[in-house]
Amino acid sequence: MLHPKREAHGDEEIANALRDAANLEGTITAEDTIGSVRFDFADEVGVQLLPDIVSNPGVMTKLSDATVALGLFMHGALMQYVKSRHPGTIRVEP
């Protein structure tokens, strides 16, 4: 979960990772189930969290939790976006 006070001080890991990955392009792929959804750019965001892994191995727990939270957030955001578009605006490919 993003914490506004931590983010304001530059201490919010997810916010920092998203900022560092802002210029990256990525794709979203999905099939019929939520488990099939892949946010390829999330891997790039996750990489932004890795530099502390050597000096702080406990960051892996945070990374795992952040990856799950980011995926759930992005899925929810995508679903809301899709619902807000006019029919035919978004093309679903098999």
Q: What is the pLDDT of residues 1-29, one digit of tens each?
A: 567 777 777 777 777 777 777 787 777 78
Per DSSP (E only), the strands in 1-94 are 28-29, 38-39
Q: What is the pTM of this model?
A: 0.39
pLDDT digits (tens, 9 = 90+) for 33-62: 878 888 777 777 766 666 566 777 777 777
Distance CA 66, CA 78 (A): 18
pLDDT band at 71 (very low <50, low <70, confident <90, very high): confident
The per-residue pLDDT for 91 is 75
* Overall average pLDDT of the 75-94 stretch: 82
Residue 68 CA, chain-centre distance (Å), reads 8
Q: Assess contact for 63 and 48: CB atoms under 8 A.
A: no
The tokens 């979960």 sit on which residue?
1
Mean pLDDT score of the chain:
77
Query: Token pair 């006070």 is at which residue?
Result: 5
The residue ranking higher by pLDDT, 43 or 30, is 30
